[in-house]
């Protein structure tokens, strides 16, 4: 077994992301890892922190400073872009995530945006938060941004049922919208990279119950490939999809994503066997393991994920706010206790 010298958090995460040797397994905050303890100790509270740069930076940094994670992720929801495109967003509270109250259902021509579109509202605050974090850690900690992919953003703008129906009866219209929203997601990602993000999560919810393999391959795969190609290999994208995606997973790999962030509802060993050169992140269960069980069970699940072929250990999705700090610490400590296996 090759023994790798000690690495910084950023070095460790980036090595695992690019499937290179690393010292110990990284523990990453890939979506949101905000809990009640973080809010109490930083005095930065959701929902206000969804839209304030300083609060975003402080809350996301807590998971590194206090729990030992190797990355920080200051975008806590999936609703910044929706708010800019005119959705009526309820930003939730300390214990609940934001949700769309009403959708504008814009015509294609109404989706054209200005050059400064992402320099306003919560998007501007996110870019500022990334800048604050980059200045604070000076390249020692991995910074993960996030964009909402075109399929999920269509859900927000038009409603799930309309998107699914129109993909069947009006596929050309859906493809035109996907084209525009993909370009805008890439633009937002580029801005985040320019402020100091090391990787960007591409959140696009094409779960098995809503999107078949055939629909994904026909409608969305070309735009995922386009996004990866537009950003290039130096700007890595981490695809995040909730739920079971086993039938589509080889297509995610073929799209060129640098990593896939997996939900525990998948067979992690099966995903790992098909990942090829793509890194696999995840997949510690939220509602049972992290929320309800003890640190010993967390450590056991981390070990199982590593054994199954996970490269980057993380919670499977945004954690419930009631997850304890001791369980998050146990996740990081368990990951860091296992050296790179090659």
Q: Is the pTM of this model over 0.95?
A: yes
What pLDDT score was predicted for residue 1? 53
162 burial class (0-12, 13-18, 19+ CB within 10 angstroms)? middle
Ranges of the chain with pLDDT below 70? 1-2
Contact 75, 238 (CB under 8 A): no
What pLDDT score was predicted for residue 278? 98
CATH class of this structure's domain 9-336:
alpha beta
Residues in Cβ contact with 138 at an 8 Å cutoff, skipping those fewer than 6 apart: none
What pLDDT score was predicted for residue 11? 98
Whole-angstrom distance, CA of residue 136 vs CA of residue 109 = 41
pLDDT in tens, 3-46: 788 999 999 999 999 999 999 999 999 999 999 999 999 999 99
**Which residues in 254-271 are b (16+ Cβ under 10 Å) and which e?**
ebbbbbbbbbbbbebeeb
Nearest to 237 by CA among 53, 54, 30, 3: 30
Residues in Cβ contact with 35 at an 8 Å cutoff, skipping those fewer than 6 apart: 319, 320, 321, 322, 323, 324, 325, 328
User: What does the domain layout of the chain look like in residue ranges?
Assistant: 9-336
What pLDDT score was predicted for residue 175? 96
Give me the phi and psi of 26, to 5 degrees please: -75, 145
What pLDDT score was predicted for residue 341? 79
């Amino acid at each position: 077994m090759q023994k790798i010298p000690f690495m910084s958090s950023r070095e460790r995460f980036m090595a695992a992301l690019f499937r290179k040797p690393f010292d110990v397994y990284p523990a990453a905050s890939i979506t949101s890892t905000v809990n009640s303890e973080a809010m109490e100790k930083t005095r930065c509270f959701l929902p206000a922190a969804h839209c304030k740069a300083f609060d975003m930076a402080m809350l996301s940094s807590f998971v590194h400073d206090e729990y030992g994670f190797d990355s920080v992720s200051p975008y806590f929801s999936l609703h910044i872009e929706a708010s800019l495109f005119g959705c009526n967003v309820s930003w939730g509270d300390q214990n609940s995530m934001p949700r769309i109250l009403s959708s504008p259902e814009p015509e294609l021509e109404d989706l054209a945006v200005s050059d400064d579109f992402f320099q306003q509202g919560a998007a501007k605050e996110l870019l500022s938060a990334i800048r604050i974090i980059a200045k604070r850690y000076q390249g020692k900690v991995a910074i993960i941004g996030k964009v909402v992919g075109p399929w999920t953003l269509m859900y927000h703008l038009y409603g799930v049922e309309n998107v699914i129906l129109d993909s069947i009866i009006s596929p050309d219209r859906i493809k035109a919208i996907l084209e525009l929203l993909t370009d805008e997601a890439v633009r937002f990602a580029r801005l985040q990279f320019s402020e100091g993000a090391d990787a960007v999560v591409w959140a696009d919810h094409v779960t098995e119950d809503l999107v078949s393999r055939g629909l994904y391959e026909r409608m969305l795969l070309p735009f995922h490939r386009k996004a990866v190609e537009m950003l290039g290999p130096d700007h890595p994208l981490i695809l995040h999809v909730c739920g079971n995606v086993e039938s589509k997973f080889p297509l995610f790999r073929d799209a060129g994503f640098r990593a896939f962030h997996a939900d525990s509802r998948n067979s992690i060993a099966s995903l790992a066997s098909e990942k090829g050169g793509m890194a696999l992140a995840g997949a510690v269960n939220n509602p049972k393991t992290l929320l309800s069980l003890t640190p010993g069970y967390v450590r056991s699940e981390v070990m199982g994920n590593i054994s199954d072929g996970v490269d980057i250990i993380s919670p499977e999705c945004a954690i419930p706010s009631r997850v304890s700090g001791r369980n998050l610490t146990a996740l990081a400590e368990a990951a860091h206790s296992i050296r790179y296996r090659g």
